[in-house]
Structure 1
């Protein structure tokens, strides 16, 4: 029930957001929620309880923003009014800001269902405050060790939070990630799995950056009949027999078609379908599979889910294509070893005609939102770039670290330029491009926001909160 403090909190948050946007100080995606929570600490709990169709939470290390946008599009196509933190503000303050935006001045909700992308560390609190009907957990990799700690620390916190969910809730997990799949054991909530079954995408060995290599029950090293990337794959324990659970929603066949996208054949209880996904890369196929499985868990028709995926356009900074007055730019966020490695692999596989002649702009920051520990650069597989780069411009607060890393990866020094200032680095990178060549920008999170702000100021894109 809405109390006076909640009304005051709602007014405070909404007025703050309006002021920030009117003064063009940013998108107002976090501060309104932060101020509202100071007035009424339980305001998110109260607002979540007013949503007729409940709340869906989606978390994981990589793919949260893209997957949640895919699911949001499906829900909207099904006719639902969706409350979604589309700009990616995924801490508790960001969730609260999003909830405030969907209420009127008297605290009455204008949405039917809440869909929140949630930061890994914030997921336990989000579960507690929103009482979700569905929790989707995508993957778990090393990321921002200064904030999260090792993955076992994160997994324990997730496990404790999921154990509080009632039997009416559903937990959807990636069967191919051992640390994530193990979260489903013994829960009161209903548990479902999704995963990849197409053996043609197996690499033959678990990568050196694999984090979950040991049995979650007995500690023996897993055996991987199929390893797709990092520790993602089909696994079993030779000692106790623990193994990958069967996926109710399975990506039975996947055909990657370079930069154009991919063809997915999905099998699910009671049927199967094929769809054309307009996004490249194995990890985007996983994103689509997770979103499709979540849509089915929420009662959407497979046809609606398929049609939405076939019309999907990438979130800002995540395989985002920008036309800079005739210069093609593709922005692909990187933020941890697995994400960076798979993004680089995607670029090399996307267009065989240019794979030996790549032009890159890499921007590495070490601000709080990026993680202040950049040692992850040495775990990412930048070695596969050697012999495939025409020129790379490195920028950001840790540009020198990235330049050293690329030299050790085998890139020739004459193909590498370090320019700390982003605007100057972008100008330099564009000048190196032959006509018709794509510039691939690989920024960390705050660097991506800076790049898009620069592009918005130049008129090439909209600010992300205006999209």
Structure 2
């Protein structure tokens, strides 16, 4: 069987699997890719080669889905037809399934550019199979140690994969994350850095859950002036002089506006522009800066970046807003210490000095979440101690979360344990005051289960329709 016939057969088999999977309500984000690759192991490589504007890969521990969606909105505003794994299927089989879904029955793509959110462990394979035009790396934190290992292990694999890129590629890196910034050394392709210049959003010292605290050259502890969160900030080594790279795309000034949004003043060597971002939180401002940097690497003008981001809406489960009985629900995915801490910081800061919080926290320990939930003890839930009006905890590790909140200083009488998710949602809605939002903080599989329950109740759309 020739490669072209294999490609057609693989595409048809994958599309058939997709139709069946979605007909059964399964979404079809991975299995079509598995089936297609059994027939044609080179199908993703062949489809990627057909994209006239090439491929962009987005990876990192936190913010991949949101940043990729931001960049997709910018690319579409620019007028390009975008092939994008919008549902977040970021394993190599998910990338393949996305490419198949975007092809016709003959295996021909209709898109001009590919945009793939990519799982940290699958980035080397994605680079090998797509030969990307741009690789955007957001951050690198400890996450799911049972799946990934320590950050140094992942960084080593990334560095080896990035070293294979041709001179025509561009790697866009977070200057404020030393584990990421170091990836740009000695690459044979273009390297572009982005970063936050507004030091008002930092603190004097590195936080306790920081992962990359020591100089990659000499092992001395970095000095931060300041740290923004985790090990992200303005760092230098007092021993050997290694320091944060100067970013080409800069977030010069940032004004955070509670849970409603933020105003960003961005600049590069050619221009300066301001964006009113309709997403809250420091980390979303950095996601927007990353998306803008990748867009500038593709020579997209600032006015198109601004127009796209000012109309942006969050991905499912990532600061997704819903309304139930006139009450606002805000769902924010938490899955590791830094992400959880920053989400809590945003919520606490948004409600004012004395405003109470009503929460539903759902913690699972399934494979996609990471079976090791010790990260709960590194997340800064202490911020909630004086702020929680009522918190319902659910999921397979509900009891663990309840214990963590107790040790964080949340009064035990304000903690309700309900492992069954549907009952937990009902309980949280009943206990939360009607005049304030209910915040939903699930891990990954818990988020999918929670959205499935909301879909069943007619309160949300299936994620593949989002």
Query: If the TM-score is normalised by the length of the shorter chain, which range does it land in?
Result: over 0.9
Matched, 1:407 2:406: yes
SS at match of 1:122: helix
2:153 matched to which residue of 1?
Answer: 153
State the Cα deviation string for residues 367-414 of structure 1 (Å, max 9, x = none). Answer: 011001000000000011101000000000000111111111111110
1:314 matched to which residue of 2?
Answer: 314
1:372 matched to which residue of 2?
Answer: 371
SS at match of 1:216: coil
- Structure 2: gaps spanning 5 or more residues: none
2:39 matched to which residue of 1?
Answer: 39
Matched, 1:363 2:362: yes
Alignment of 1:203-218 (within 5 A): 203-218=203-218
1:180 matched to which residue of 2?
Answer: 180
Alpha-carbon contact 1:2-1:46 (below 8 Å) kept:
no
2:382 matched to which residue of 1?
Answer: 383
SS at match of 1:3: helix
SS at match of 2:275: strand
1:445 matched to which residue of 2?
Answer: 444
2:26 matched to which residue of 1?
Answer: 26
Question: 2-side partners of 1:436 and 1:20: how far apart?
Answer: 41
State the Cα deviation string for residues 147-170 of structure 1 (Å, max 9, x = none). Answer: 000000000000000000010000
1:431 matched to which residue of 2?
Answer: 430
Question: 2-side partners of 1:39 and 1:367: how far apart?
Answer: 30
- Structure 1: gaps spanning 5 or more residues: none
**Residue 46 (structure 1) shift:** 1.0
Alignment of 1:168-317 (within 5 A): 168-317=168-317
**Residue 2 (structure 1) shift:** 4.8
Matched, 1:60 2:64: no
Question: 2-side partners of 1:106 and 1:88: how far apart?
Answer: 25
SS at match of 2:120: coil
1:335 matched to which residue of 2?
Answer: 335
Question: 2-side partners of 1:285 and 1:356: how far apart?
Answer: 24
Question: 2-side partners of 1:234 and 1:327: how far apart?
Answer: 40
State the Cα deviation string for residues 152-195 of structure 1 (Å, max 9, x = none). Answer: 00000000000000100000000000000000000001000000
Question: 1-side partners of 2:226 and 2:362: how far apart?
Answer: 34
**Residue 325 (structure 1) shift:** 2.2
Alpha-carbon contact 1:2-1:107 (below 8 Å) kept:
no
1:416 matched to which residue of 2?
Answer: 415
Question: 2-side partners of 1:83 and 1:418: how far apart?
Answer: 42
Question: 1-side partners of 2:87 and 2:173: how far apart?
Answer: 24
**Residue 22 (structure 1) shift:** 2.2
Question: 1-side partners of 2:355 and 2:215: how far apart?
Answer: 40
TM-score (norm 2): 0.99
**Residue 57 (structure 1) shift:** 0.2
State the Cα deviation string for residues 193-230 of structure 1 (Å, max 9, x = none). Answer: 00000011111110000001111111111111111111
2:112 matched to which residue of 1?
Answer: 112
Question: 1-side partners of 2:350 and 2:143: how far apart?
Answer: 26
Matched, 1:398 2:393: no
SS at match of 1:19: helix
Question: 1-side partners of 2:332 and 2:238: how far apart?
Answer: 38
Alignment of 1:53-132 (within 5 A): 53-132=53-132
SS at match of 2:416: strand
Alpha-carbon contact 1:328-1:436 (below 8 Å) kept:
no
2:456 matched to which residue of 1?
Answer: 457
2:12 matched to which residue of 1?
Answer: 11
State the Cα deviation string for residues 254-312 of structure 1 (Å, max 9, x = none). Answer: 01111121110001121101111111110000000000111111111110001111111
TM-score (norm 1): 0.98
State the Cα deviation string for residues 222-266 of structure 1 (Å, max 9, x = none). Answer: 111111111000111111111000000000000111112111000
SS at match of 1:121: helix
**Residue 94 (structure 1) shift:** 0.4
Deviating beyond 3 angstroms after TM superposition, the runs of 4 or more aligned structure 1 residues are none
**Residue 420 (structure 1) shift:** 0.4
2:326 matched to which residue of 1?
Answer: 326
Question: 1-side partners of 2:405 and 2:428: how far apart?
Answer: 16
RMSD: 0.9
**Residue 351 (structure 1) shift:** 2.4
